[in-house]
Structure 1
Amino acid sequence: MDWTIEVAILPVTDVDRTKAFYESIGFAADHDHTVSDEVRFVQMTPPGSNCSIAFGKGLTDAESGSRPLHIICVSDINAAREQLLSAGVEVSDVDVQAWGHFVYFGDPDDNRWSVQYLPYRYAS
């Protein structure tokens, strides 16, 4: 039996601003439903991913930016960094380590992300 991670909840202060941010870096908007005056659910998925993020109104009591670092994997760290820069995102330089290459950024609510490239996955 497979166990898969489907959704990670992000705490945010402005749902529309957050949705626009993630759309600008290429995430697809899967769902945007206002359930009631107290609940709005937005789910977005990065290109090629089986795991999504969700945020909205009434989904979590956590403070925005309070979650631990989220990690997303890519096959080309330089292209990922350029895509983020093209969208106006403040992103770190590439951090090359023996186990992988990384760039870091945050969303408008300072939910922190590590973008990682693992060379051994793409070695021929």
Structure 2
Amino acid sequence: MDMKLEFVVLPVADVGRAKDFYKALGWREDIDVGEGEGRVAQMTPPRSDCSIMLGPSLTTAAPGSMQGLCLVVDDIEAARAELVGRGVDVSEVFHAAGGGLPLANGQGRAPGLAPDRASYFSFASFNDPDGNGWFLQEVTTRFPGRLW
């Protein structure tokens, strides 16, 4: 049986403001329906099979409470530069220190690209206007068994 992650609910206070932010990143607007507390928008990153669903009443989670969302890119420096060029406040590139993965609170991070630019270990981070936290993660070679 196939199972695919279709969308992730992202808690936001203002759907219009959030939608404008993600459109500025170059994301596709799939839907925008309803009004007020019932308004819902769906946005999809370029070439992604998974979307985000924005709406104030889709979840009881507080706006800005989603952390550690990850966008995989094949060139972390180019992706960071593109987002900065679109007006996003993106961290400098960092890598996982000590063999683990970096945490949203900044622990486990070392500046710069991963040694030997190892796939899966170079990151940058940014937040949306509500404070939902995103990572960019450079993946150039998939682990065995993973589909690209």
Mapped partners of 2:128, 2:50: distance in 1? 18
Identity %: 45
Structure 2 unaligned spans of 5+: 95-112, 143-148
Where has structure 1 moved over 3 Å in runs of 4 or more?
Answer: none
Mapped partners of 1:17, 1:37: distance in 2? 13
RMSD (CA atoms):
1.4
Q: Which residue of 1 aligns with 2:31?
A: 31
Matched, 1:117 2:138: yes
Q: Which residue of 2 aligns with 1:74?
A: 73
Mapped partners of 2:78, 2:25: distance in 1? 12
Amino acid at match of 2:59: T
Mapped partners of 1:49, 1:31: distance in 2? 16
* Greater shift in the superposed pair: 57-66 or 46-55: 57-66
> Deviation of residue 50 (structure 1)?
0.1
* Greater shift in the superposed pair: 92-101 or 74-83: 92-101
- Give the conservation status (yes or no) of the 8 Å contact 1:100–1:119: no
> Deviation of residue 37 (structure 1)?
5.2
Q: Which residue of 2 aligns with 1:13?
A: 13
Flag the structure with larger Rg.
2
Equivalent residue in structure 2 for 1:103, among 114, 124, 127: 124
Larger proportion of strand: 1
Q: Secondary structure at the match of 2:18?
A: helix
| Length-normalised TM-score, structure 2 | 0.75
